[in-house]
Chain A
Amino acid sequence: MSRTAIAASGPGSEPGRAMLPSWLKASGRILASFAVTLLGLAALTFFIGRLLPLDPVVAVLGDNVTQEAYQAMYRQLGLDQPLYIQFGRYIWGVLHLDFGMALTTGKPVMADIARVFPATIELASVAIVIGTSLGIPLGVLSAMYRGSWLDQIVRVVGLIGYSAPNFWLGLMGLVLFYATLGWVGGPGRIDFTYEFDLEPVTGFLLIDSALAGNWEMFGNAVSHIILPASILAFSSLAYISRMTRSFMMEQLSQEYVVTARVKGLSWARTVWGHAFRNIAVQVVTVVALSYAFLLEGAVLTETVFAWPGFGRYLTNALLAGDMNAVVGCTLLVGVIFVTLNLLCDLLYRVFDPRTR
């Protein structure tokens, strides 16, 4: 009896907790999980970085240096301190949004990330728009017409998207569309002719050129982004279309679909109006994951297209042993994933009333 009473009264009836509104508790939980995730990530990356046989002093001073200068820089970088002190100092800096100086560029890591990340966001955003706008319809149609020639084509396209390396696709795309047909701009975000005529406002060239009303430059930026974004979109498209197809096939075997058809609802309306609503939550997760992977930076695509983005920056930092930059970038990737997960949670509430 008493147990039932407690259960009925719920946790809100406990002393102290009654003062906290549910949204505040939820926010607190989210923030706590956010902080723990990032702290764990920072610790893991920091300590792995210290275990790697890469010498940050050589990264700064080069190979041809006296031992005296080497030792001086070793101390200057704080490498003579115990690891826990180095980590403590690092976390203290991070709490003040100071990720330290990037050894390879001589600039603050935050400034470097602020410079390279817009290029990646722009590329990833265009890619995810292309990948989603093609991937979802193709996945749904493939499920609707299972076994048809369309389904076969989508599966083959998906297979190629999964298996063909972006590096190779990028080079082939450049040879065909840039060097042979001349349909698109070459490597880089924009032609050199325009690059220095624009003062960056947001760092997103498409937006900045549009804000400046410079449509010629906007066109040039589009011509440069369209190919790398399409290459990246191809992999996303493959993933999104295959997952959508799989989710949709499961829905189409449900009884409510048969009922709707028996009641005279058209095939298209049954699929888009009913079945698709039920897979929307899963599709959102798939799209968000794809976007997160793209935001991490597609190193090979960025390399082939001379795209000055986040992935290439992180890889260079890693190879040079620039651990300040590596840990800073890793934390950012963590923030991206956690944020997108949160956004997914919010979208679940929009798409699925049961989760409200």
Chain B
Amino acid sequence: MTNRNDVTGTKRRSAGRRLLSAAAVAALCVGAGTAFAATPKNALVMAWNVDAISTFDPAQVGEVVTNEILQNTCDTLVDFDPADERKVVPSFAERWDVSPDRKEITFHLHKGAKFPSGNPVTAEDVAWSLHRVVKLNFGNAATLTEFGFTKDNVEQNIVAGDNTVTFKLDKPYPTTLVLQSIGANRVSMVMDKKTLMANEQGGDLGNKYLATRTACVGPYKLTRWNAGESIVLEANDGYWGKAPALKRILIRHVAEPGTQRLLLSQGDVDVARDLTPEDLKDLEGSKDVSIVKVLRPQLFYWGFNVADGPFSKEKVRLAMRYLIDYEGLGKTVMTYLGVPRASFAQLGAVGALDAKEGQPFKLDLDKAKQLLAEAGYPNGFEASVLFGTLPHANPIAQSVQQNAAKVGVKLSLERMANAQLFSKVRGREYQSAMLAWQTGVPDAHGNASRLVFNPDNRPEAKQTQYPSWRSAYQDLALNKQIDEALLEADPAKRDALYATIQKEVMAKGPMAFMFQMNSVAGVRKDLKSWTWNGFRTYYELATK
């Protein structure tokens, strides 16, 4: 027994020595692994929260991360000018002709382009790509149906010719608006029909196939996507256009902003996309990192269900606008994140009021109290405010709650998962809610057509894609004005019409718009030409 113990003890000691040796080797390995190099010279490395990606089908995609990936992998007919998002420039269409009555636009396409699969890109691919968006009827179909294209007529009205594609419109819409709304939008991304139809499942036009990959032509191609992990884009060698300077785009999913900041500070990534205002402030004076920001067409607003209760009264809704501390929040919670904006038309859009006219409100409790008294609520009322997981939603809601309490309005705050919030708002199961809305068009019509225009307010109509319907708000006079503004040919008159609509909506609309959001990023200074505007980020223009 004693001997056995001795032997075991000897074994233990030798095992201990081996363990120590192994630990020393491991420590050396750790040392070797810590020779941290800068990011590769030919690659752009980003830290970004890319959890939201669930498909790469342009017909279905509805969130900003995937949209940005697709914009860099799939060409559209035209593109937003990097220097001025209100202008469009040629992309897969070299040029376009417009008929005198503005009801026909013919796009002349590049010749000789090939998809990464090797299939040639044809006019038929371009037309088919647009048809499938309407036929699949996901949310993005509205981008086309708003211009009169339906499942029944889309094949007759978007027609492939000899290296051309022609749009036949039902009304003389402003050409620039059509180019911005459809031509530069993901709905016109050129898809590889042959590949998608070969992988079609149950008539889905390749929708399931695109859940995990792309099949289109663009400066980059998606070569790897591991959900919740990383994305790799590689330069498309056979691309018809100018080859991008950086051969690889490497995106690592990093959900925690603090971790993004560390990676950026250490030079392990070139760009961090989800930094908090505190991180951005600390990095402001850094010699290695620049803070870049650009206004994007996203509005954060407090929406009211006007079906019944206090919010059905215009004066109550107006009073709520005077409870928002635009200035104070803009300087604290929203520093870097956004700018105060009370108009539905985002700054930078065609027809939008300027910064001053588009934000006439300030915190004014007396005014709010007076309006409440005029509306029949001198002692206030009780209501709930729902909001989701946006980091700025909670402090903004709390600020409004505190101000409201001072005029007798008791607001109960309820935070929930975004999916739950959307369900409640879509079902009109709420009193008020704070959430965001983003348009894809740098024109006042983009938001007017959804946030104000409501084609049918009946509950059973279920026009859930219209936030105006979700608010149970319909103003037939405003509907008419929006239609008129849309078709007005004279740009000055059009601007005037939109100015009137914006002022009316600020006074009585169902949403108190609060802030227009920025896209903000921390960018290492050795990355040159980081180029973006409110609608696109141009990876192909970045250099090192």
Contacts and interface: CB of A to CB of B under 8 A. Distances in A.
Interface of A: 53-55, 58-70, 72, 102-107, 112, 115-116, 171, 174-175, 178-179, 182-188, 191-193, 195-196, 215-216, 218-224, 226, 269, 273, 303-306, 308, 312-313, 316, 319-321
B154 interface: no
B30 A223 contact: yes
A102 B55 CA distance: 11
Nearest to A63: B422
Nearest to B140: A64
A63 B465 CA distance: 8
Interface stretch (B260-268, B311-319, B518-526): B260-268
B447 to A, nearest CB: 13
A151 B426 CA distance: 60
B138 A54 contact: no
A261 to B, nearest CB: 16
Contacts of A221: 33
The secondary structure that dominates the A interface is: helix
B346 to A, nearest CB: 16
B54 A187 contact: no
A63 B262 contact: no
B33 A178 contact: no
Interface of B: 5, 26, 28-34, 36-37, 39-40, 43, 45, 47, 51, 53-55, 60, 62-63, 137-139, 141-142, 208, 211-212, 224, 226-230, 232, 250, 252-256, 258-259, 262-263, 265-266, 268, 389, 416-417, 419-420, 422-424, 426, 462-465
Contacts of A69: 137-139, 141
Given A66-B142, A69-B138, A191-B268, A55 B252 contact: no
A284 B342 CA distance: 63
A222 B228 contact: no
A192 B250 contact: yes
A255 to B, nearest CB: 20
A105 B34 CA distance: 33
Among A193, A215, A303, residue most surrounded by chain B Cβ atoms (within 10 Å): A193
B37 A54 contact: no
Given A66-B139, A219-B33, A304 B258 contact: yes
B259 A174 contact: yes
Contacts, number: 189
Contact of A60 (B54, B137, B423): B54
A186 B255 contact: no
B426 A196 contact: no
A61 B5 contact: no
Contact of B30 (A55, A103, A226): A226
Nearest first, the 9 closest Cβ-Cβ pairs linking A and B are: A106-B211, A223-B33, A62-B62, A219-B29, A67-B462, A105-B227, A308-B229, A55-B423, A65-B139
A304 B259 contact: yes
Nearest to A216: B32
B240 to A, nearest CB: 26
Contacts of A103: 54
Contacts of A175: 262
Contact of B266 (A112, A171, A178, A269): A178
B228 A316 contact: yes
B34 A185 contact: yes
Given A68-B137, A218-B29, A223-B30, A193 B37 contact: yes
Query: Which of A221, A303, A306 gathers the greatest number of chain B CB atoms within 10 Å?
Result: A306
Given A216-B32, A306-B255, A312 B228 contact: yes
B259 A306 contact: yes
A171 B260 CA distance: 11
A184 B30 contact: yes
A58 B423 contact: yes
B258 A171 contact: yes
22 contacts: A53-B423, A54-B423, A55-B419, A61-B138, A64-B62, A65-B139, A104-B54, A105-B54, A106-B55, A106-B211, A106-B212, A115-B229, A116-B228, A187-B254, A192-B39, A220-B33, A303-B255, A303-B259, A304-B256, A306-B253, A316-B51, A319-B419
A294 B227 CA distance: 22
A250 B261 CA distance: 49
Nearest to A224: B33
B111 to A, nearest CB: 34
A65 B254 CA distance: 28
Given A58-B422, A192-B45, A223-B33, A107 B463 contact: no
Contacts of B29: 215, 218-219, 222-223
Nearest to A52: B420
B63 to A, nearest CB: 6
A196 B208 CA distance: 26
A54 B212 contact: no
Contacts of A63: 62, 139, 422, 426
Contacts of B36: 182, 185-186, 191
Contacts of B266: 178-179, 186
A184 B36 CA distance: 9
Contacts of A183: 30-31, 34
B138 A65 contact: yes
Contacts of B26: 222, 226
A282 B260 CA distance: 42
A107 B53 CA distance: 12
A55 B420 contact: yes
Contact of B228 (A55, A192, A193, A308): A308
A112 B211 CA distance: 14
B252 A188 contact: yes
Nearest to B258: A171
Nearest to B211: A106
B436 to A, nearest CB: 10
B227 A55 contact: no
A106 to B, nearest CB: 3
A306 B51 CA distance: 12
A304 B462 CA distance: 41
Contacts of A107: 211-212, 227
A59 B258 CA distance: 27
A143 B55 CA distance: 56
Contacts of B262: 174-175, 178-179, 186-187
Contacts of B253: 306, 308
Nearest to A306: B254
A186 B54 contact: no
A102 B208 CA distance: 12
